[in-house]
Structure formats: C-alpha cells, structure tokens
Structure 1
Amino acid sequence: MRVLICDDELDVAQIVAELLRREDIEAVVCGSGPEALAMLDRARFDLVVLDIMMPGMDGYEVCRRIRRSSDIPVLFLSAKTEELDQVMGFAIGADDYVTKPFKARELVARIRARIRRDRRASSHVVRHELLCSAGLELDATAHEVTLNGEPVSLTPTEFDLLAELMRAGESPVPASDLYERVWHEAYNASSRNSVMVYIRHLRKKLADIDSSRPFIDTVWGVGYRMRQAATREEVSDE
C-alpha cells in the first residue's frame, strides 16, 4: 500500500505518515496541491489524503483535478468540521472525510478499508454480473453504467452504491446497510449524511440523461430502493 499525504502543515502530514509507516503502509508527504498533482502524474499511489485549507490551490480544487483523470480514492483530512464542508467534499468526488483532530486508529482503519475496497473492485473477476432496470444497465465486471445506451460517469463510491440498490431490486435497503456494504465501516450517527449525499449525486447524474422519471425512491423510515426491479444476468467468460 502506498499513500500520498498532502497538507501545508508538514508537521501534521509527517504525523500521519509515521502512523501509516508503523502499519507497514508506505507514505509520501508533500505540502501543496500542485506538488501533489505532479507526484500523482509521476508515480502510482493507492490513496490520497488531502487537507482542504491550503494556500494557492485548496484541497477541493486538487480533488476536482484528480477526478478529471483518475478514480484513485481520496480522503479529506481537515479542520473544517461543518456539515456543509463535508457535503462539498463528497460532492466533488471525495471517498471519505475525517475531521481534525483525528483518532489515529480510526484514520488508519479508514485508509486500509478504502484501499482494500478499491483493490477488490479492480481485481479480475471470472464471471460477469450485469444488472438491468428500465434502460439502466450496470456491468459490475467492466465497471460500466449506461442509461438508454448513454454512458453514465460515476465515482467508485457512486458505482458501488448503485450496484447495491440494483441488486436489491424493488426491496428497500436501509441507509445503515448501504453504508456498511459500500463504505465497509460500522454505521454511526454521521454516516447517514454520506449516504444521502451520494444518493443525491446518483439521482442528478441519472436525471441529466433521462429526467422523464425518477430511478431511486426514498422509502421514509426504511431506506432507498430502485423504482423498478433489476434483473441479474451472469455470463461466463469460460
């Protein structure tokens, strides 16, 4: 595992790096957004830890630029604790958000879980899983989604969330179940916001292509479900 840590407070970045190194995770530190982007162009990393409040190019802009060409997991580590700040982070493509001051064990666990999940998603799968629902098709093996034949651009988290909903068909899935299946972490009081933000992103991206009908329903007091049942088709590569 190799992690890039970008924070203009280099003492904080070095603390995070040392925590990761103690867990046998290689950590590289840089102090600015442009430096982080240059390092990502030159070398391979499994995850990026980003501060937000950096001079010149802030963490939000760094994340936007990363998302133009890469699906690498991005975790914001920031002193900005307002809900709106976290919503903004998820909206521009972050996969996780941890506030300062942080708990060392929790931060390392989140980083490990995120990298582990990303590796599982990119590992070779022998069988294809194709989920279909009223013009919406999700190929879990190729990691592709189309709506009415038009490609839908999703982040890894958005993709996994949509896959879980489509697998459930018309059965509502509680937010707690979605969070634990997609984020691979225990559900807590703040987790509901993460699910809500990503559901909102999915609805918007689908509506941008086809606004004639809703695709994801909120079942109040229960969770979320697809408007029409998905069917599963498995095709062997053998």
Structure 2
Amino acid sequence: MRLSPHTTDAVQRAIDVVVSGAALVVLSPVLSVVAGVVANRLGRPVLFRQQRPGLHGRPFTLVKFRTMLDVDEARGLISDGDRLTGLGRALRATSLDELPELWNVLRGDMSLVGPRPLLMHYLDLYTPEQARRHLVRPGITGLAQVSGRNALSWEDRLAIDVWYVDNRSLTLNAKICVRTVLTLLRREGITAPGESTMPQFTGTRQPGEKEQNGA
C-alpha cells in the first residue's frame, strides 16, 4: 500500500532526524579533518553560509564547507572558475562540501532527499509549475542529482524536481540514496558543459517569447 504524501513526509522527517543525528556523530572525525584542511588551504571562515529557499520558499541559512577563494579583483579572482580551487573541485566532486548540511537536516530546514535548495532570487523567475518544487523540503540529494546533476539543463532539472514532488515515496527516496552513492563513485555531472559549476538560472521563456539582447 502506498502511503499518502503527508504520511510519507512525516515518516521521512523521522528518518531525517535519526540518520542526520547519527551521521553527524559518526562522521565527526571526517568533518574535523575537512574543516582543518579548508582552514589551512582557503583560510577562514571554514563554512560557507547563504540564505536559500526551503519548504514553501521560506528562507533558511544553508551551511557548507567553503570551496572558493574570496572575490579579489586585483588578483583576477572574480568568476567562479577563477575562485574555485583544486581543493574546492575535489570537495565538490566527492560532495564532502555538503556534509555540514546534515545540521540543516537535523534542524528541519532540509531533508536527506528532495529538490536541491537553489538561490533566493530564483523564486521570482520560476513558472508557477516550477515553483511547486518548494512544496517539499529541499534535500542534500535528489532525483535531479542522480539524473544528470549539473549536466542537466535548467528546464529538465526543474521538471524532474516537480515530478519528484508529485511522485515522492519512501521507496523512491531509498532508490535515490543508492543512486547517489553510485553517482558520486562515478563522479558524474559535477559541472555543466563548458562551465566551472552551473550557469545562472535566468527564467524559462514562454512559447513565442524572444531571447534578450537580440540573440
């Protein structure tokens, strides 16, 4: 028997609390080592903090390990590609930079599985259909992450997020977790084609709408 979305969310929340709490304890040596390496190589602060939209678009402070140098125009450190270090690429490829988000899961800001929390200013750019991705808590991993990760186009990525919202189940979440491990081992979809990370989302054009700048 398939559980209702409400029951699925309640059970998943209980799983989130147990797993994130246990993981923070078990992985504390790893967290300490990564924090020490980041402090030594990139300096302080060790953690990157940024407001992201959570459940129903409500803002929360996401925490990750820092992977980029500070913006420094004098040194030419402006773009993500310039600021992203070898250490940062390694942390992103292995998703070790995401480990502090377990604290966000424990607090209830996030879930282990769900659409990734994007940027606050994207909220005004979504179509009503795309905005439905915020009907569930954002996740450390999600269906889009195991279906191509940053190699997906924005439209495909957001469509997958909405499909997940409508079809979420504990079984699907378990499959996503297994596929996440396989994706990390294969290091698939870490960056978008031709990009250091992922290009900015600028909105989805409606049928018949022309692109900006005469392109």
Range of TM-score over shorter length: under 0.3
Structure with bigger helix share is 2
Q: TM-score, normalised by structure 1?
A: 0.24
Q: TM-score, normalised by structure 2?
A: 0.26
Q: Relative contact order: is structure 1 or structure 2 higher (C-alpha 8 Å, sep ≥ 6)? A: 2
Structure with bigger strand share is 1
